[in-house]
Structure 1
Amino acid sequence: MIPGSLARRYARALLQLADTPIQREIFGRDIASFVRVAAVNELDKPSLLTVLESGAYPVPERRAVLQKVLERMSLDATVSKFLLFVFERGRISGASQIARQYAEMSDALSGRVHAKLTSARPLPTDAVNKIKAALERATGKTILLESAVDPELIGGVVTQVGSVVYDGSLKTQLGNLRTSLRG
């Protein structure tokens, strides 16, 4: 693990290496793929990230393992060089944080924002699409919507876009009514 500010700096550096929006998407896809592969734990075997950051193995051997994995994954050459650079700096344990920061920065540059829609019951597809369209109009950005179900809401929906929460749940409305009747 590395501090968040350091992960942002590495992510920003990789982002600056992308000359086009398409290349930016390729870099994001490739670094996310590497993290998915490197973080896998199989039946009492350490993950690739654990091996790469372990001092139990000599650096040249760990570097060779990383190079072989990168070759087999056929990642973009820039992403492979970037990951080798991160390894050389002793920061490979932060690859997942760097990938997460990269995705956030890339989304921001592309005008995308993540949102979470929580409802008491699964919503019909057309209702979800209408909510998504309304959020896109309100934010002026493309919404990447994740849906969840929480029966405790009783009814209505709660939507979180970035740090802003729109709470139209029956649970919250009943709580507000209870508070106003007590006061």
Structure 2
Amino acid sequence: MIPGSLARRYARALLQLADTPIQREIFGRDIASFVRVAATHELGKPSLMDVLDSGAYLVAERRAILQKVLERMSLDATVAKFLLFVFERGRIAGVPQIAGQYAEMSDALSGRVHAKLTSARPLPADAVNKIKAALERATGKTILIESAVDPELIGGVVTQVGSVVYDGSLKTQLGNIRNSLRG
């Protein structure tokens, strides 16, 4: 793990290496793919990330393992060089954080925003699409929706876009009524 500010600096550096929006998407896909592979655990065995970050193995051995993995994954050459650079700096354990920061920055440059839509029951696709369209009109950005179910909401939906929460749940409305009756 590395501090968030350092992860942002590494992510920004990789982002600046992308010459086009398509290349930016490829970099994001490749670094996320590496994180998925490197973080996978088998029962009783360390993950690739654990091995690469371990002091129990010689640096040359760990570098050779990383190079083999990068070759087999056929990642973009720039991403592969970037991951080797991060390894050489002793920051390989921070790649998941770097990948997360990269995804956020790339989304911001592409005009995409993540939204979490929580409802009491699974919503039909057309309802989700209507909510998505309304959020896109309100924000002027492309919305990437993640749906979740929380039966405690009773009814309605709660949508979080960035740090803004739109709470139209029955649970909240009942709570507001209760508070107004008390006061």
Residue 78 (structure 1) aligned with residue 66 (structure 2): no
**What are the within-5 Å matches in structure 2 for residues 11-30 of structure 1?**
11-30=11-30
Question: Residue 144 of structure 2: SS of its match in structure 1?
Answer: strand
* Helix, strand or coil at the partner of 1:155: coil
Other structure's SS at 2:166 match:
strand
Q: Identify the residue that residue 105 of structure 2 maps to in structure 1.
A: 105
Distance 2:97 2:44 in 1: 24
Between the aligned partners of 1:123 and 1:175, the Cα distance in structure 2 is 23
Query: Which deviations, in whole Å up to 9, do the C-alpha atoms of 1:21-46 show, x marking residues without a partner?
Result: 00000000000000000000101100
After TM superposition, give the deviation of residue 70 of structure 1 in Å: 0.2
Cα separation, 2, equivalents of 1:57 and 1:124: 52
CA deviations on 1:150-181 (whole Å, 9 max, x unpaired) are 11000100000000000000000000111111
- Alpha-carbon separation, structure 2, partners of 1:151 and 1:145: 19
Per-residue CA shift, 1:36-71, capped at 9, x if unaligned? Answer: 000001011000000001000000000000000000
Q: Tell me the distance in 2 between the aligned counterparts of 1:116 and 1:76.
A: 31
Query: Could you tell me how far 1:140 is from its partner in structure 2?
Result: 0.2
Deviations 1:56-91 (A, max 9, x none): 000000000000000000000000000000000000
The 2-side partners of 1:89 and 1:58 are apart by 15
Runs of 4+ in 1 over 2 A off after TM superposition: none
Q: Secondary structure at the match of 2:10?
A: helix
Corresponding residue for 2:138?
138
How many residues were matched structurally?
183
Alignment gaps of 5+ in structure 2: none
Deviations 1:73-116 (A, max 9, x none): 00000000000000000000001000000000000000000000
Distance 1:123 1:33 in 2: 30
C-alpha distance in 2, partners of 1:41/1:154?
A: 38
Cα RMSD of the aligned pairs, angstroms, is 0.4
Deviation at 1:124, TM superposition (A): 1.1
